Structure 1
């Protein structure tokens, strides 16, 4: 009886173990892809491009399935381009990431160098392939700007590897993000999806004037937690040259200037409710930012990384 009982339950035990292993393998694979894709950065792209797309809407009746389908046509190729950009940066910074970000799949060895190259090349092909199939010229130019600028930022070739220069780093991020997050998204929805004549509303002016300040801060503040690895690689970022404290408060000052500009532009609005909301909302965000900055431990890389992630949140809030 004991022998027959063991035989009856043994196959089920193996089946359960196999199912558990498969589930664990899937979960591990998804987590590895999450770390590779840096999805928190792409969420900023989604928020920026979506709100810029809304600026192209002339009346609420245009918020229909055509609008949302058109937005998906924009964001999908840009998601593939985002994966190319973050993957290429991990390939180019492999030795640096072993110091600064050892948890990333390439730095930890979860992805081999060959696999990384195949993945990055595949996403680049998918990005431009999807854009070609959709046929949106504004979307294509946004992708091209991201490709050219961020490739020049990352790859270590003559006249490239722009991350070695603070000016070129800020320039590549500001131009690339402004084009991809804001201008290309607006023009895609305005001319390709809604089939309207090109126009430049006051709100677009706010976005294209204020948001580049945030993009400049993102390009500068991202190096604050990475000073150790950048020093070892001989990359003299602004944080390496001036120290974390000076660069940190420089970034905070730029953000306060951005909120101040948003308040001034909002105060000049002829619409009362828009004026009250814009001024009060951005004044509140400036206060929250100031309190958050004063609670940051500048001697802790974890605290600096947390503040960097906070910037992504306030960047969305300004929209």
Structure 2
């Protein structure tokens, strides 16, 4: 029990207030006259320190109770949960995560990501000859190809945005670099990281068709966008179209088919009728995408001297040229399907391509070519037709 002398002392908080703080020497001189023994002095100081410790604990417990009460009130009122002023706010963290994910989603150009993934899956299915080929080995080889190709896809579209920041401020101000959400340094870091990961994965897989597909895509994608002497091929409409055709129509079809055929299944390379059809049809489609993508971007291209076909020939003329090319491709696909010896393949390919051709023509007639929003929406519709075609290609037999 504390002595009456200790109980009469002021509390630690009182001793620390006033015109100057109490020091240890002042405290000892005031409390211990000369006649108090050293042993008695130690007992009193010990009791005082104990009281100070208890006082501090009580203050901390009171603070904890106040914070807990605040937490309960906030929870009951639906306010964000926090532990006090400046405390942790899970809502803000979640908002930051969503904002970062949305910016990367736009930076990766999701319509190209979806197109790349679907094309590789579709072409890989052309290598399947019997039901037993659909095995864990197939899915492993498919996953290796898709992931490596998507990494390279992000490098290509990201490099294009880094090279086109000023143009995109006019044509696509919602992109992260054009809007200022990403700095140039952030963009460079992303594209560098994804290109390294793509090559690393292609190398450790050990598939030469896959590695060469990545390497050629890297070269063409770099030459297409980067602003260096003898490069930036997108300034030439013909060369730009040839780059897109080479990647989307030839490399994707041939290289990824050979990856499955030779690396996964260990079979000799062959160029089957469905593979030749897929390459020819997607050549038409790739030219259309290369031409059509510039139609809504005519304003920025004119300002920065990009001599696209749209700038040279006008939006309406290029628009209907694209529609004609696609309708011819659908007509050829119907003919190919009609001569198939497989009944289910004949029915599905003829009806499927006839339906897609009809939808294209019906939608094209209603497009307002004076509206950039309408043209952009139709461009996204063409990408949907692109996706749909890759669902039909495996049915061609």
Deviation per CA, 1:19-62: give whole Å up to 9, x if none: 00011111111001101001111111111111100000110111
Tell me, yes or no, if structure 1 residue 115 matches structure 2 residue 186: yes
Quick check: 1:89–1:154 contact (8 Å CA) kept in 2? yes
- Structure 1 SS opposite 2:269: coil
Tell me, yes or no, if structure 1 residue 69 matches structure 2 residue 140: yes
Q: Distance in 1 between the 2:340 and 2:92 partners?
A: 59
Q: TM-score, normalised by structure 2?
A: 0.77
- Which structure: greater helix fraction? 1
Match of 1:310 among 373, 376, 381: 381
Higher relative contact order (CA 8 A, sep 6+): 1
Deviates more, 1:284-293 or 1:274-283: 274-283
Larger Rg: 2
Shift of 1:180: 3.8
Quick check: 1:145–1:179 contact (8 Å CA) kept in 2? no
Correspondences of 1:64-143 after superposition (within 5 Å): 64-143=135-214
Structure 1 residue runs without a partner (length 5+): none
Shift of 1:273: 2.3
Quick check: 2:368–2:374 contact (8 Å CA) kept in 1? yes
Tell me, yes or no, if structure 1 residue 292 matches structure 2 residue 363: yes
Structure 2 residue runs without a partner (length 5+): 1-62, 73-80, 391-397
Tell me, yes or no, if structure 1 residue 182 matches structure 2 residue 250: no
Deviation per CA, 1:68-124: give whole Å up to 9, x if none: 111001111111101100110000001000111111111111111111111111111
Quick check: 1:139–1:188 contact (8 Å CA) kept in 2? yes
Shift of 1:9: 3.5
- Report the aligned-residue RMSD: 1.6
Tell me the residue number matched to 2:96: 25
Shift of 1:267: 1.5
Correspondences of 1:231-310 after superposition (within 5 Å): 231-310=302-381
Shift of 1:316: 2.0
Tell me the residue number matched to 1:147: 218
Tell me the residue number matched to 2:7: none
Tell me the residue number matched to 1:159: 230
Shift of 1:8: 3.1
Quick check: 2:285–2:326 contact (8 Å CA) kept in 1? yes
Q: TM-score, normalised by structure 1?
A: 0.95
